Structure 1
Amino acid sequence: MRLFLFAICLCAGSSLLMASSSGALSAEAQVVPVPPGVGEGIPDEMDPAVKPPPAPITPSGETDGADDAAQAPPDLDTLFKKLADAKSASARARVVHQIQVEWSRSESPTIDLLMARAHSAIQNKAPGLALDLLDAVVRFKPDFVAGWNRRAAAYFLSGDIGKALVDVERALALEPRHWGALAGLAAIQQSLGDDKAALATYERILEIYPEMDKAEEARKKLSAKTEGRTL
């Protein structure tokens, strides 16, 4: 397996690294998939629906702080404050994008490549390969939230709910506001039949990221389901 991982890293050209970086970003908020019968689950948040519009242009013709932001990206606490204070959906979408960029920032081309390959393996229903790749990710960079979150997805796909839960909890210990990991936790809670806990988790997601439509849909369905049980 070590030789396989080394070969992946050695043979990757610059174009592949660029593609993998893009793939890692597009899948950064990858959530734990939901098994048949549990519900629709929540798809990857990095889809065109949440990508922000271009930065607004000031009267002087310059982008509104875009260059400064590229040179010195704000920390996550600042971004989450901006998200809470944003007055419009478009403003929130821009901040959501910035947060996801920060979550996906591994600062390592090797990690980016492993993450992209693992994402492809998960999409191709090959959790064993994904786990081999992600074991290396969390070993090389144990403080990388996206690595733990994606390995949780691979464990869940393989049917190992216990290990999926451990990895989701590790991701949330590092970043409690990670809506992808929270969505994974909700999926696990649903798979275990704990709809009340899953409902609370979806509500937590919506407190952080109100525009997450699939979380709102899941919340409504679970709310109706749990209310029906109490009647």
Structure 2
Amino acid sequence: MPYPAHSGWLKTHDMCATRFSACRRNGFLRLKAPLRFYARAICGALVLGVSVCSAAALCTVAQAAPVVSSTTPPPPIPAAAQPVPATPPTEAQQQRPPNGTAVPSAATGAPTASARTPKPLRVDEQIAQLADQLAHAKTPEEAHRLEGMLETLRAANLTPTTHLLLRRAEKDVANNKPDNAVDAMADALALQPDKAILWRSSAQMRLVAGDLNGAVKDLGSALQRDPKDSQSWSLLATVEEHRNDGPAALKAWQKVLELNPMADKNHKRLDALHIKAFGQPT
């Protein structure tokens, strides 16, 4: 049983604490402990409720799930995932050629487009092709164009030193020094004796220098390497005409007309050489 004095002291202490304490903002100093107790109790109840609910849910799932026996066979494999047994190759597959081999077309029997791609022609093959076109030229303009292309191909693969000697020979001829030009061409032939155009150029220098027999000899070497060079045949006709060999000149010019019909479209020179060779017809 509390004493009256003790109760009065508690009331006085509570009033002072409420009015002067730092906690006077709520005025419920004596209720802190009970509130704290109730808050802890509520939180504990909530946690307990969540745990009970979780346990109940797990039990429900466990009851709903089917029990798989250790002797239950595995599920079947889908048809798409099952391995396909190897089949022997068909007759068409056995007859298929290896990669990179041209396959003829079933309709035409021709090879594929990749096999029909033409290989680039060599220089001598291009010269032969253009010479055939020149023999069938229909106009002087077409013949002139083809002759220019042929001269470019014939002068291909000449070394810079050979070009220098050719220019020196032309300069010597322009300066009335044909003997020096012949020497320059001899040096060029020593460097590249397989070039027919050099033998023809040497024959030109010898013709200017008056060495007709040497010119004929050089032209023979040129035509041996390039028998379809109409300009070499034309030069040979000129040299034979200077040698007063009418039949030889006529024969050489007839060869020119076989290779380039447009060289003498109206046959004026042909008739003149024919007269020189056999005289005026009666």
Shift of 1:118: 0.8
The correspondence of residues 202-221 of structure 1 with structure 2, limited to 5 A, is 202-213=253-264, 216-221=267-272
**Map 1:1-231 → 2, pairs under 5 A:** 75-213=126-264, 216-229=267-280, 231=282
Partner of residue 35, structure 1: none
Q: 1:77 to 1:131 in 2, by over 3 A?
A: same
What amino acid is aligned across from residue 224 of structure 2 in structure 1?
A
In structure 1, distance between residues paired with 2:265 and 2:155:
21
CA contact (8 A) 2:137 2:262 kept: no
Q: Which residue of 1 aligns with 2:101?
A: none
Counterpart of 2:192 in structure 1: which amino acid?
K
1:57 alignment partner in structure 2? none
Alpha-carbon shift at residue 229 of structure 1 (Å):
4.9
What is the Cα deviation at residue 200 of structure 1?
Answer: 1.5
Contact 1:145 / 1:175 at 8 angstroms: preserved in 2?
A: yes
2 CA distance for matches of 1:82 and 1:199? 24
More off after superposition, 83-92 vs 174-183: 83-92
102-111 or 144-153: bigger deviation: 102-111
**Which residue number in structure 2 is paired with residue 24 of structure 1?**
none
Of structures 1 and 2, the one with the larger relative CO (CA 8 A, separation 6+) is 1
Identity %: 25
Judged with a 3 Å threshold, the aligned counterparts in structure 2 of structure 1 residues 227 and 208 are, in CA distance, closer, same or farther, namely same
The aligned length equals 162
Deviations 1:24-43 (A, max 9, x none): xxxxxxxxxxxxxxxxxxxx
**Corresponding letter in the other structure for 1:191:** H
Contact conserved, 2:247 with 2:277, CA < 8 A, in 1? yes
Contact 2:135–2:258 under 8 Å retained in 1: no
What TM-score do the two structures reach when normalised by structure 1? 0.61
CA offsets 1:89-113 (integer angstroms, 9 cap, x no match)? 4333322221111122243121112
User: Which blocks of at least 5 consecutive residues in structure 1 are unaligned?
Assistant: 1-70
* TM-align CA RMSD: 2.7
Structure 2: how far apart are the matches of 1:104 and 1:125? 25
Deviation of residue 223 (structure 1)?
2.0
CA-to-aligned-CA distance 1:25-77 (integer Å, 9 cap, x gap): xxxxxxxxxxxxxxxxxxxxxxxxxxxxxxxxxxxxxxxxxxxxxx9876111
- In the alignment, the residues of structure 2 paired with residue 125 and residue 213 of structure 1 have an alpha-carbon distance, to the nearest angstrom, of 30
Q: Distance in 1 between matches of 2:266 and 2:217?
A: 22
CA 1:214/1:100 → structure 2, altered by over 3 Å: closer, same or farther? farther
Distance 1:132 1:228, change over 3 A: closer
Q: Note closer, same or farther for the CA distance 1:217–1:98 as it changes in structure 2 (3 Å cut).
A: same
| One-letter amino acid of the counterpart of residue 149, structure 1 | R
Query: Per-residue deviation at 1:87?
Result: 4.2
